[in-house]
Amino acid sequence: MFSKILIANRGEIACRVAATARRLGIATVAVYSDADARAKHVAACDENVHLGSAPAKESYLCGDKIIAAALATGAQAIHPGYGFLSENAEFAQACADAGLVFIGPPASAIRAMGSKSAAKALMETAAVPLVPGYHGERQESDFLRGEADRIGYPVLLKASAGGGGKGMRVVERSEDFVAALASCKREAISSFGDDRVLVEKYLTRPRHIEIQVFADAHGHYVYLFERDCSVQRRHQKVLEEAPAPGLSAERRAAMGEAAVAAARAVGYVGAGTVEFIADYSHGEGGSFYFMEMNTRLQVEHPVTEMITGLDLVEWQLRVAAGQTLPLQQNALRIHGHAIEARIYAENPEKGFLPSIGTLARMRSATAVEFQLGQGHAGQPAQVRIDSGVREGDAISPFYDPMIAKLIVWGADRDAALRNMARALAQYQVVGLATNIGFLQRLVAGSAFSGADLDTGLIERHRDTLFPPASAPAIDTLALATAALLQEELQASPASPTSRCADPWASTSGWRLNMRLLRTLTLENEAGPTTLQIDYAGDGRHWTLHIDGQAHALQIDAAHDNRLQINLDGRNLQADVVREGEWLHVFGQQGQRSLRHVDPMAHAGHSEAEGGRLTAPMPGKIVALLVQKGASVAQGAPLLIMEAMKMEHTIAAPAAGTVEDLLYAVGDQVAEGAQLLEFKAA
């Protein structure tokens, strides 16, 4: 076994690899960019080496610097994690040439599976079923459009060198093909340096089921069962679970054997995932088709670990060190059910636009550090959290905006669902937008809870997953109001805990021969709610007047951000966290956010200038879709920005005229920058 390894990655996966290495007594070396100098993964390792500036191409994608760091620190092997250089055949070969072990498959296997077109041709030879499509080398626009017309719409355009949901477009009609192809190629060249695409028949309600495979250098192959990754947005996974709901033992064996055949066809060694599209339109007897093979450890590998009790990173290290697989196929068992939710800094209501900022507060359910080894020695922990960030860390525009992976286990799927709902409700993140509320609705929704799964689930249930904003509940208003009142009490030199008895210094609402009636406005996405607070004068009892109804409010206890109140005889408790004007109420139902509209705080402020369309985040202009002076309809695409390797279309907010374009293609823009001048009709 190795005595020291270098982890050529960052964030959650670097921390994950370091944890297993620490358990096995293996020293670790972290690498980091300027943006990650104080990152969690740097602290998790025994040594660290600076690579360069924040952009990945100047740090985490610099294979020569990483190899030099490994040699300088005496590391014997390099673990690439996922993303960055994990599926780069040239890097794997360079490691071998430098006398370092690449903890992954041989370069030849990465090359064979790195091109989706070449991989599908190889799978056809290995008798692995394929989706109908064109996987050849010709890339002329007219030719590809002709192939799409032949296959029949809808079709899926997919970057040949792609992964992670990038460089993919669904095309519904022939007339939309050319524009979709151009967009797909732009994203592919930006993300992978290769703009080749393939065209496939797009199945309208497929399930995305992948098989975890493992192989050693001694010719042994196993599959560690399946994961259902059907719940996706922008072709990126949101929820993953194992085993796949409703999958029969016969289908599991057939898919597992096909996955092993795919791995054998390329002489695979190490951990890999063979991804299939399963067509359930004809019931359990439907077909499944090879989609691609990811020649690395997957983001969602923890659900496989939770149902098998095995540490897949440990298996990677042992296989890379020349050992045989710890277990053979007949010794592998499924125990219980696991679900993983990817918690991201993003705004689902704005097209899942990434959110950038500082994690001013990050609290979660109590998680147990995973105890994995040679199978289950008992019931595993019900909650596991894999994260590469801490409270106070920043989510930057340079890397994937993942905050954490929340993984739960249950004796069956229903138990796992209950554990996931409970754990999501206990998450608290303040400082940026997250997808936690969206995940709560998704997990509780009838489609996911009922295992009615396919890759279009989110779009099919958009109405329930993205409900219109509604006025805040009375309980939420009362808790937010109580937090403001508690702030007043703490700020008062004549508070009940103070020795000062001067009533004129009190902020508790005391009045001579009268009671204070104060108007308060709290606002959420549905608009403002105005209420009145009737101060009783003792600093602990108030009456709230909301929509013509009177509610008795009492603060029973307050410690840090935790509030216990009595509202109309009912006991309520929640954490209420202040962030500027915003009050974030974290209760049993998760997070509810209200803005305290204080007129005095905005005295003299004017309304924002109209006619401005601004950048939602830092990025680069990659396409201008209109010219100066153009008249456009509401919703018409105006320009395309690229941020975090994803394209974002800026659309017209109303019918009107584009009076000026303020940036050219290739220009970098800051968050909030005005992009163009627009005049509504």
| Opening angle at CA 69, ends 67 and 75, nearest 5 | 85
Question: End-to-end CA distance of the chain, in Å?
Answer: 70
Phi/psi of residue 432, each to 5°?
Answer: -160, 170
In 3D space, the residue among 172, 188, 181 whose CA is nearest the CA of residue 142 turns out to be 181
Phi/psi of residue 443, each to 5°?
Answer: -65, -35
In 3D space, the residue among 163, 162, 207 whose CA is nearest the CA of residue 299 turns out to be 163
Enumerate helices (H) and strands (E) in the chain, giving the number of each.
Answer: 17, 39
Between helix 11-23 and helix 312-320 the angle, nearest 10°, is 70
Instruction: Provide the token pair at 517.
Output: 């009636």
3-state secondary structure of 49: strand
> SS3 string of 76-107?
CEEECCCCCCCCCHHHHHHHHHCCCEECCCCH
CA distance 458 to 647: 20
For residue 270, how many other CB atoms are within 10 A of its CB? 23
Q: Is 263 exposed, middle or buried (0-12, 13-18, 19+ CB in 10 A)?
A: buried
CB 618 within 8 A of CB 670: yes
**Is the N-terminal amide bond of 472 cis, ω within 30° of 0?**
no
3-state secondary structure of 542: strand
In 3D space, the residue among 437, 435, 459 whose CA is nearest the CA of residue 447 turns out to be 459
CA distance 110 to 64: 19
Instruction: Provide the token pair at 265.
Output: 């066809």
With a CB cutoff of 8 Å and minimum separation 6, the contacts of 196 are 115, 117, 137, 139, 159, 160, 161, 188
- The single residue listed with the structure tokens 């410690």 is 559
CA distance 286 to 207: 11
Please tell me what DSSP assigns to residue 516. Answer: -
CB 645 within 8 A of CB 629: no
CA distance 481 to 487: 10
CA distance 576 to 561: 5
CA distance 85 to 28: 18
- DSSP β-ladder status, 4-7 and 27-33: parallel
3-state secondary structure of 252: helix
- Helix, strand, coil share of the chain (percent; to 5): 30, 35, 40
| Opening angle at CA 412, ends 411 and 418, nearest 5 | 90
CB 273 within 8 A of CB 106: no
In 3D space, the residue among 450, 447, 448, 421 whose CA is nearest the CA of residue 436 turns out to be 421
Q: Tell me the catalytic residues.
A: 296
Phi/psi of residue 175, each to 5°?
Answer: -70, -15
DSSP alpha helix (H) spans, 24-140: 40-44, 63-73, 89-97, 107-114, 116-125
Phi/psi of residue 382, each to 5°?
Answer: -80, -25
Q: How far is CA 389 from CA 22, 299, 453, in A?
A: 19, 16, 31
